[in-house]
Amino acid sequence: MSNNVRPATMERITTPELAHAFIDDQIAQLRAQIGDKKVLLALSGGVDSSVVAALLIKAVGKQLVCVHVNHGLLRKGEPEQVIEVFKNQMNANLVYIDATDRFLDKLAGVPEPEQKRKIIGAEFIRVFEEEARKQENIEFLAQGTIYPDILESGPVKSHHNVGGLPQDLKFELVEPLKFLFKDEVRVVGEALGLPKNMVYRQPFPGPGLGVRCVGAITRDRLEAVRESDAILREEFAKNGLEGKVWQYFTIVPDFKSTGVKDDKRTYEWPVVIRAVNTRDAMTATVENVPFELLQHITDRITHEVAGVNRVLFDLTPKPSATIEWE
Ligand code: XMP
């Protein structure tokens, strides 16, 4: 691999003007590198891969093949937004693969968090590899590597990283964001015309809702995670907390408690709300969410989400808890 140190002369990208200069420069470089060949990209819909996709669409158009794998653990509306933005609006060459059944079948009955992550990571590579084999004349693999990934080279992105492809599918890497920090990627994303909610979205783990459906994942409990998460995000957006709170989501643990509805006893899951702030995800503090808002969200979740009769708020900072529950 070529040089992995950010050039000392590289100015921090803080304004639209600087972003456009970066974009023009990258387009020229990408065209020179790629020529008339084809490039493959695993497009998750996260900030980094979305910005890489938008850059490459500008640079090489239909020579880019985006593959969006829906592992069934995405948030409500995410696959739809990827298709709308990239296929319908940007006219990208997008392959959408709904692999929900494959992932959920493999995950059925597996309670252990690291085992769940391994299954999701391995299955992701398998699905991507199958698609890569169907595509002809691919010579490059684009990745949304950013500078902190190189500096830390920690485990956080391991499962996104499709570098695990077999030897005969080792493509030359295209990593246009590899010297950028996250805030710079967002400025570039906005300059490329990506929707604000895509560019400023909160971090979302590669194993997705899978680590928030605690223990062995079942389809009905996973739906409770997805639906309660959608309500939480909608209410945070309505109440000015979107973009202010670093990460917020819901968890559904694998146990039930009694409740009462329409004069009948129920025996259903609790939903846990987590909302935290952090600089580097190594430590985190809990957001002081207004009590009335928590009550309103509780009311909505217990009325709108099937199988749920109770809502809790996680008051624990990191440490002692991690941000995710698994
Ligand atoms: P924890 O739970 O370790 O999380 O305090 C710190 C940050 O990392 C995210 N996270 C993950 N991201 N793959 C990812 O891409 C993972 O397996 C994973 N586990 C945790 C978490 O959402 C938080 O932002």
Residue boundaries of the structural domains of the chain: 16-199, 212-313
Asked whether residue 4 carries a pLDDT value surpassing 70, the answer given is yes
Q: Looking at ligand 1, which atom is closest to the CA of residue 159?
A: 13
Lowest average pLDDT, out of 160-164, 185-189, 271-275, goes to 160-164
Give the closest residue (by CA) to ligand 1 atom 6: 281
Asked whether residue 2 carries a pLDDT value surpassing 70, the answer given is no
- Ligand 1 within 6 A of CB of 156: yes
Mean pLDDT of 27-35: 98
- Ligand 1 within 6 A of CB of 281: yes
Looking at residue 273, its amino acid is I
- Ligand 1 within 6 A of CB of 201: no
Q: 64, 93 in Cβ contact below 8 A? A: yes
- Ligand 1 within 6 A of CB of 207: yes
Give the closest residue (by CA) to ligand 1 atom 10: 205
Give the closest residue (by CA) to ligand 1 atom 11: 205
Residue (of 175, 187, 143) closest to 41 by Cα position: 143
Q: Looking at ligand 1, which atom is closest to the CA of residue 247?
A: 24
DSSP 3-state of 290: coil
Count the residues in the chain.
Answer: 326
pLDDT tens by residue, 59-116 = 999 999 999 999 999 999 999 999 999 999 999 999 999 999 999 999 999 999 999 9
Share of the chain above pLDDT 90, in %: 93
Residue whose structure tokens are 């158009």: 61
Give the closest residue (by CA) to ligand 1 atom 9: 205
Predicted confidence at residue 169, as pLDDT, reads 86
**pTM summary value:** 0.94
Q: 73, 208 in Cβ contact below 8 A? A: yes
pLDDT tens by residue, 125-140 = 999 999 999 999 999 9
- Ligand 1 within 6 A of CB of 209: no
Predicted confidence at residue 206, as pLDDT, reads 95
CATH class for domain 212-313? alpha beta
- Ligand 1 within 6 A of CB of 247: yes
Distance (Å) from CA 282 to ligand 1 centroid:
10
CA dihedral defined by 96, 102, 106, 107, rounded to 10 degrees? 50
Cα 55 to Cα 69: distance, rounded to the nearest angstrom = 20
From 274, 320, 323, 325, mutation site for ligand 1 pocket: most ligand atoms within 8 A of C-beta = 323
Architecture of domain 16-199: 3-Layer(aba) Sandwich (3.40)
Cα 16 to Cα 234: distance, rounded to the nearest angstrom = 29
Predicted confidence at residue 166, as pLDDT, reads 87
DSSP 3-state of 116: helix
Predicted confidence at residue 96, as pLDDT, reads 98
Distance (Å) from CA 256 to ligand 1 centroid:
26
Q: Which helix (H) or strand (E) holds 274?
A: strand 264-277
Give the closest residue (by CA) to ligand 1 atom 4: 323
Mean pLDDT of 8-34: 97
Give the closest residue (by CA) to ligand 1 atom 24: 203
- Ligand 1 within 6 A of CB of 317: no
Distance (Å) from CA 52 to ligand 1 centroid:
22
Quickly state the pLDDT bin for 162 (edges 50, 70, 90).
Answer: low
- Ligand 1 within 6 A of CB of 321: no
- Ligand 1 within 6 A of CB of 157: yes
Predicted confidence at residue 161, as pLDDT, reads 47
Mean pLDDT of 166-179: 93
